[in-house]
Chains A and B, each alone.
Chain A
Amino acid sequence: MVAFTEEMVDVGGAKVHTLKGGSGEPLLLLHGAEGNSGWLRFADALAEKYTVYYPSHPGYGKSDRPDWLETIPDMACFYTWYLETLGLEGIRTIGFAMGGWIATEIAAMCNHSFSKLMLVGAAGIKPNVAEITDIFIISPAQVLELMFHDPSQAPEYQAVYGREFTPEETMTAESNREMAVRLCWKPYMYDPRLSSLLQRVKIPTRMVWGRNDAIVPLECGELFKKAINGSDLVVIDNCGHSPQVEKPEEFIKTTLDFLA
């Protein structure tokens, strides 16, 4: 396992809890609505080749929320500041689910932030046929059930989800969920401007989707592909919303191929 450190990055007075590990060129990971997963197998494998930065978004986990930060575009604006603070520019980025939405907003507003962009089961665009599952009106247990196509094939499932949580972990999960509500309540999990703005994105972009994603339908991956010129879409069979946890080997392979 690659060693990682925990840092508090000060961005305009707000501390951002950041996991950092590995060596090589920088790679930014942006987590989804539920919060930072911690240093799992996928992050570790990526850290073999890259210096991985894996922050908890402002308002999540141990990171502060500046009072003004209420929306996903606010979050994107904040992250351009975060990258500037760390002296990072033109880096590789992977955005997971809601983090994919943040990544696309950044890419659309600031064309020198990223050199390559990968979106995994990303929110941000409204599907035309299906709907993005409302994860706020169902219980966290129901959300978890929908996240995985077949939990038994996720090697870390038991270690991450199949154990008793401490009161502190439960409180963090609740407050993360509140932060997601703050950011994504209405319109739910999309930005009506985004498809149009994505024409600005000229960097190599790859979408990775579980074919059986029951949270953000595969249709959204196709819409991203249509919106971002020259992008491609890799679909992983028999896989739900979190390919990085459910099928880490396939996920790592397609990711490293793309990022190389």
Chain B
Amino acid sequence: MSLDVYYFTEMPYHYITDELAEQWPSLRLTFPNSYFDPNKATDLFKRYLDEYQYAEEVGFQGLMINEHHNTPSCMDVEVNITGGILARLTSKVKILMLGNMLPTSDNPPRLAEEIAMLDVISGGRIVSGFVRGIGVETWANNTNPVHNRERFEECHDLIIKTWTTPGPFRWEGKHYNYRAVNPWMVPVQKPHPPVWVPGTGSPETVEWAAKYHYTYAAFLTEISRAKQLFGSYRDHAAENGWEAGPDKFAFMICVHVNETDEKAQETGKAFMWRMGHPLKGPKEYWAPPGYFSRAGTAAAALRRQRPMNEMSYQELQDNYHLVVGSPDTVIKKLRHIKEELGIGSLLLEAQGGPLSHEDTMRCLKLMGEEVIPALQD
């Protein structure tokens, strides 16, 4: 059974040392942007975009991008900008935007036409991820967390209608109102680009994704937890008379490959930056009051036995949050994930923290030459 492998980086501005990070409550939201050097960022963007381009060359089936705000851990602040760049820099790969934050958007028709334009420019290669945004984004964008889920759903409904119903039409909802929805730009893919939804455990999200037959991507969850979530998706599907195949399931983890296990263990330590301070911060930053439902709060407690930023390098590997090794070792571990979870797509964050350009390029090459082909049987 084939497996689509996606390359992903958060494009970190990784020059923030632990010593500096420790002086602030978090690297998110309130970490002062006076530490940002735009000139350094220019060089980083060049490098990260080169790496994305190279990932297509070596054989990845897709490129994944995401966005965050107010944080050095992710310099991508707008997936539709990077999506536009990649649409032109690449010619074959799928471009998975995971994704646009719907609840914080005040203008769904505008989002619909932006994504449609990307689909047109890329010749129908866009996979349109829709996300609620982590709690921090609610603060950064100042959108009421109590409305997060209902805005997500209404924004989604309006975008899908914009893509699938000939305009002009009128929209009078609770959060959005339009006189004439009629964007000139509509997507190439019909009825619309595939929609994916990431989740870390909210049962409502699983149910919602199943309702629309969307692909559900489990992000950095324990394999056992992902199994439960996928199982619950399959159950919802079965209850509604259809069978959810592997294309409905994706799993995201960090991965690092080097020529030997020893070398990989050494260079892979760069991921500890990403697993450290960017994941810390006051509870309220991550979970503004009202952001999680009661069920979501209970599910969040089940997600991991311990927060990732408290796990050692070895524990992160033992728990499959981070897979590190030679091509053979990594093939073995990724096959295990593929078989355990019955997934159709694997989303690999293969550049993280201060992992150098050289180490990233070598990793991508080994992935393309050895790992990805070995996962296709």
A171 to B, closest residue via Cβ = B294
A177 to B290, CA, bound (A): 8
- What residues on B are CB-neighbors of A181 within 8 Å? 144-146, 288-290
Q: A185-B144, A185-B146 are in contact. Are A174 and B289 (CB under 8 A)?
A: yes
Interface residues in A156-190 by Cβ distance below 8 A to B read 174, 177-178, 180-182, 185-186
Say which one of B72-80, B212-220, B222-230, B278-286 lies at the interface with A: B278-286
Shortest beta-carbon distance from A185 to chain B in Å? 4
Q: Is A138 an interface residue (CB 8 A)?
A: yes
B288 to A, closest residue via Cβ = A136
Contact across chains for B290 and A186 when beta carbons are under 8 A apart: no
Contact across chains for B144 and A137 when beta carbons are under 8 A apart: no
Contact across chains for A139 and B283 when beta carbons are under 8 A apart: yes
Interface residues in B271-301 by Cβ distance below 8 A to A read 282-285, 288-290
Chain B residues packing against A (C-beta within 8 Å): 139, 142, 144-147, 282-285, 288-290
| Choice from B142, B144, B283, B289 contacting A177 with Cβ under 8 Å | B289
- What residues on A are CB-neighbors of B288 within 8 Å? 136-137, 181
Pick the 8 closest A-B CB pairs, nearest first: A178-B290, A185-B144, A182-B146, A177-B289, A181-B290, A181-B289, A178-B289, A137-B284
Contact across chains for B289 and A136 when beta carbons are under 8 A apart: yes
- What residues on B are CB-neighbors of A137 within 8 Å? 139, 282, 284-285, 288
30 A-B Cβ contacts within 8 A? A136-B284, A136-B288, A136-B289, A137-B139, A137-B282, A137-B288, A138-B282, A138-B284, A139-B282, A139-B283, A174-B289, A177-B289, A177-B290, A178-B146, A178-B289, A178-B290, A180-B289, A181-B144, A181-B145, A181-B146, A181-B288, A181-B290, A182-B144, A182-B146, A182-B147, A182-B290, A185-B144, A185-B145, A186-B142, A186-B144
Shortest beta-carbon distance from A178 to chain B in Å? 4
Q: Mark A134-153, 1 if CB is under 8 A from B, else 0.
A: 00111100000000000000
A182 to B147, CA, bound (A): 8
Q: Mark A114-150, 1 if CB is under 8 A from B, else 0.
A: 0000000000000000000000111100000000000
| Choice from B139, B144, B147, B284 contacting A139 with Cβ under 8 Å | B284
A137 to B136, CA, bound (A): 10
> What class of interface size applies to chain A in its complex with B?
10 to 19
A137 to B285, CA, bound (A): 7
Apart from A137-B285, A180-B289, A181-B290: 10 A-B pairs, beta carbons within 8 A: A137-B139, A137-B282, A177-B290, A178-B146, A178-B290, A181-B146, A181-B288, A181-B289, A185-B144, A186-B144
A186 to B143, CA, bound (A): 8
B30 to A, closest residue via Cβ = A137
- What residues on B are CB-neighbors of A182 within 8 Å? 144, 146-147, 290
Shortest beta-carbon distance from B289 to chain A in Å? 5
- What residues on B are CB-neighbors of A180 within 8 Å? 289
Shortest beta-carbon distance from A131 to chain B in Å? 15
A182 to B290, CA, bound (A): 8
- What residues on A are CB-neighbors of B145 within 8 Å? 181, 185
Shortest beta-carbon distance from B175 to chain A in Å? 11
A180 to B144, CA, bound (A): 11
A187 to B, closest residue via Cβ = B142
A94 to B282, CA, bound (A): 35
- What residues on A are CB-neighbors of B282 within 8 Å? 137-139
A143 to B142, CA, bound (A): 20
- What residues on B are CB-neighbors of A185 within 8 Å? 142, 144-146
Q: Mark A78-96, 1 if CB is under 8 A from B, else 0.
A: 0000000000000000000
A185 to B332, CA, bound (A): 49
A227 to B312, CA, bound (A): 59
Shortest beta-carbon distance from B290 to chain A in Å? 4
Shortest beta-carbon distance from B139 to chain A in Å? 7
- What residues on B are CB-neighbors of A136 within 8 Å? 284, 288-289
- What residues on A are CB-neighbors of B142 within 8 Å? 185-186
A257 to B282, CA, bound (A): 44
Shortest beta-carbon distance from A59 to chain B in Å? 10
Shortest beta-carbon distance from A37 to chain B in Å? 19
Shortest beta-carbon distance from B153 to chain A in Å? 16
Shortest beta-carbon distance from B272 to chain A in Å? 28
Shortest beta-carbon distance from A58 to chain B in Å? 14
A138 to B288, CA, bound (A): 9
Shortest beta-carbon distance from B333 to chain A in Å? 39
- What residues on A are CB-neighbors of B289 within 8 Å? 136, 174, 177-178, 180-181
A20 to B180, CA, bound (A): 52
- What residues on A are CB-neighbors of B147 within 8 Å? 182
Shortest beta-carbon distance from A170 to chain B in Å? 12
- What residues on A are CB-neighbors of B146 within 8 Å? 178, 181-182, 185
A254 to B290, CA, bound (A): 37
A53 to B202, CA, bound (A): 40
- What residues on A are CB-neighbors of B285 within 8 Å? 137
A137 to B140, CA, bound (A): 12
A177 to B139, CA, bound (A): 16
Shortest beta-carbon distance from A154 to chain B in Å? 25
Shortest beta-carbon distance from B174 to chain A in Å? 9
- What residues on B are CB-neighbors of A178 within 8 Å? 146, 289-290
A199 to B344, CA, bound (A): 65
A174 to B, closest residue via Cβ = B289
A181 to B139, CA, bound (A): 12
**Residue of B142, B144, B288, B289 with most partner-chain A CB within 10 A:** B289
Shortest beta-carbon distance from B143 to chain A in Å? 8
B147 to A, closest residue via Cβ = A182
